[in-house]
Structure formats: structure tokens, C-alpha cells
Amino acid sequence: MTVRDVLRYTLLLLLVVLCGCADQSKGAALNECRTKNYLLDPAAQSQLTPDCMKEKSFQFVANCAPTPDESDWDPNVAAFHFNDPRCYEAVGAAPWLATLLSPM
């Protein structure tokens, strides 16, 4: 194994780690976006919340309609899909890679 091989493997490993280190804190990011926009009317929130999540590296899943959960403590999640963390996915990382590299 030469120095070039070691550098190649190091760069490849660094690339994999950086791709997997996308912000996986969906709930915390969504709460920040909701807090920023909670005084606005629901129509404005439906535009601004997904945009705020996109800035935090999460994209809204098209046609997201999760079934309401009885244990949901927040009535806004059932009323508006843009408030549901299950309707967002991380951008820039494959979900299996992010899960694999996640500390939890």
C-alpha cells in the first residue's frame, strides 16, 4: 500500500462521512421554523415553513399525507401537513448512510 492509496482511501472516507453528516434533527429544525412563523396565518406558514426547512437542509416530501397518530400532542400536525416532521427528508445524504453514521 503506497501513500497514494492511503490518500485515496482517506479522501473517499472523508467524502462518505461528510455526505452522511447532514442535519438529522428534523424535530428541532421544524420547531425552530414553526416558532419563527407561528404568528402568521396558516396560508403564509404553509409557504414559509417548507422554505425554512429547505434552508436547514430538509425538503418537503410531495404528496405527504401521513395517518394521524392518536398520541400526537400537537393538533397542528394533524391539521397541516407542513407541520409534520414525517413529511420532510434530509437533502444531500442517502437515508441509509445518514442512519448508519448517526450517533444514535
Give the domain extent around 68: 3-101
pLDDT score at 99 = 60
pLDDT at 84: 77
Task: Indicate the number of domains in the chain.
Answer: 1
Which letter does DSSP use for residue 70 in this model? T
Predicted pLDDT of residue 82 = 74
Q: For residue 66, give every residue at least 6 positions away whose Cβ sits within 8 Å of its Cβ, in sequence order, or none.
A: 81, 84, 86, 87
Looking at the chain, the whole-number percentage of residues with pLDDT higher than 90 is 0
In the chain, what's the furthest Cα-to-Cα distance? 62
Using pLDDT thresholds of 50, 70 and 90, give the confidence band for residue 37. confident
Q: Is the pLDDT of residue 104 over 50?
A: no
- Whole-prediction pTM value? 0.57
pLDDT tens column, 51-91: 988 888 888 888 877 666 666 556 655 567 777 777 888 77
Cell of 48: 414559509
